[in-house]
Amino acid sequence: MDTPWTKLHSFQSVLVVLWLLFLSHPGYSEEEPCDICRYLVVNFKQGLEKTAGQNFGGGNTAWEEKKLAKYETSETRLLEVIEHVCDTSNFECNLMLEQSEELVETWWFKKRKQYPDLFQWLCMDTLKVCCPPGTFGPDCLSCSGGSERLCNGNGRCDGDGTRSGTGLCNCYLSYGGPFCAECSVGYYEAFRNETHLVCSECYKACSKCTGPEDDSCVLCKKGWMLHDRSCIDVDECGTEKAQCRANQFCVNLEGSYECRDCDKACVGCMGAGSARCKKCNKGYSRDGVKCLDINECNSEDPVCTGEHEVCVNAEGSHQCSCEKGYSKKDGVCTQDQQDQKGLFEDMTDDEIVVLQQMFFGVVLCALATLAAKGDMVFTAIFIGAVAAMAGYWLSERGDRLLDGFLKGR
């Protein structure tokens, strides 16, 4: 049976399948276990804050203080906190929580005094999914950027604080070198002291410079030439550096060049447009400087010679189409069929009957709806029924009339 319940159930199964597909999708990257553990601990701490002072009546009787102290360290509170640590939809959080629930319980009852930092006790020391800051990898080795200011503050240590990664520096855009203590190509040292380095961008044409101005260049990027501490654009189109294909022309750009296609009127060209052709393409002829389309339809010898054919000129070519009222069939212009059928011509009589009944049905519905506005459902049904009968009777009477109407006679 297809009850609403089974429908809901199959809808849920579809959701589950979609979710599994999402998980197994190759592009789906698994979250770093240390991040999951950190998330778990953060939420745990929030839960502790929320339940702090709970079960406390506000009074300060000895009895109430005792009751509060009892709740503070109770299993009731622990379970309350654990219940809200992971969102139900967060699969990875729930998995890690399930695997470490007993550990958290142990910490709550036995280790809390000795190891107050749950993150360090759980994520670093016990589950061993995290490392102390500035260290990385399975054995929590020091990051290569030194542990004082990692990567000189100009990059991130790969795997910092986790049990994975390489420990190498991933420098921010303007910085380079193994410890991000240098400026990368196109940047200069705007500030440097013993511990800090700030790199700023050179003028766009410089790869090395002493300042941001266009005349403080020391080295130029590719496509530029150094002249008097300024970088000047190289016109590649005038040199052998530019290699464009046949039927293309070269355009010089700042620092580079581009090959663009010749106009379709050309075979080979020196630039854009039909006036820069080396030779004119087939279907075009030289008129002054431009290569213009030849109108084949105007030639002395007729080009379209078939019966009922007409010549239509096009860019660089022409077509032989048929006169109005004719169409190409097997390469010959043939007269189109004249006797167009009426809209309802090829309908069977049965279909017409159905159409009629539908027509009356629509009228009945309209009547019933109008009646229902008088807010009496029974009136509506009654009028509907009367109208149905009247409609049926009328439909037989109106057969001939409607038949004629539909056939357009």
Ligand X SMILES: *[C@@H]1O[C@H](CO)[C@@H](O)[C@H](O)[C@H]1NC(C)=O
Return residues touching ligand X (CB under 6 A): 193-196
CB of residue 133 to ligand X, shortest distance in Å: 20
Q: Whole-angstrom Cα distance, residue 333 to residue 313? A: 18
Among the listed residues 177, 183, 127, the one whose alpha carbon sits nearest the alpha carbon of residue 151: 177
Name the closest residue to ligand X (Cβ): 193
Q: Select 114 or 195, whichever has its Cβ closest to ligand X.
A: 195
DSSP class of residue 259 equals: E
CB of residue 190 to ligand X, shortest distance in Å: 11
CB of residue 195 to ligand X, shortest distance in Å: 5
CB of residue 189 to ligand X, shortest distance in Å: 13
Q: Select 150 or 371, whichever has its Cβ closest to ligand X.
A: 150
Q: Select 121 or 179, whichever has its Cβ closest to ligand X.
A: 179
The angle, 0 to 180 degrees and rounded to 10, between the axes of the packed helices 399-407 and 349-372 is 110
Query: How is residue 359 written in tokens?
Result: 């027509």
Q: Select 192 or 286, whichever has its Cβ closest to ligand X.
A: 192
Q: Select 24 or 193, whichever has its Cβ closest to ligand X.
A: 193
Q: How far apart are the first and last CA of the chain?
A: 52
CB of residue 201 to ligand X, shortest distance in Å: 19
DSSP for 178-247 reads TTS-EEPTTEEEEEE-SS-EEEEEPPTTEEEESSSSTT-EEEE-TTEEEETTEEEE--GGGSTT--PPTT
Q: Whole-angstrom Cα distance, residue 213 to residue 230? A: 9
Residues 219-227: contacts with CB within 8 Å, 24+ apart? Answer: 221/186, 221/255, 222/255, 223/254, 223/255, 223/256, 224/255
Decide the pairing of beta strands 224-227 and 217-220: unpaired
CB of residue 213 to ligand X, shortest distance in Å: 23
Q: Select 194 or 330, whichever has its Cβ closest to ligand X.
A: 194
CB of residue 173 to ligand X, shortest distance in Å: 19
Q: Select 9 or 196, whichever has its Cβ closest to ligand X.
A: 196
Q: Select 196 or 204, whichever has its Cβ closest to ligand X.
A: 196
- Cα within 13 Å of Cα(177), Cβ side: 14
Distances (CA, A) of 25 to 28, 71, 90: 5, 45, 17
- φ/ψ of 74, rounded to 5, equals -85, 165
CB of residue 191 to ligand X, shortest distance in Å: 7
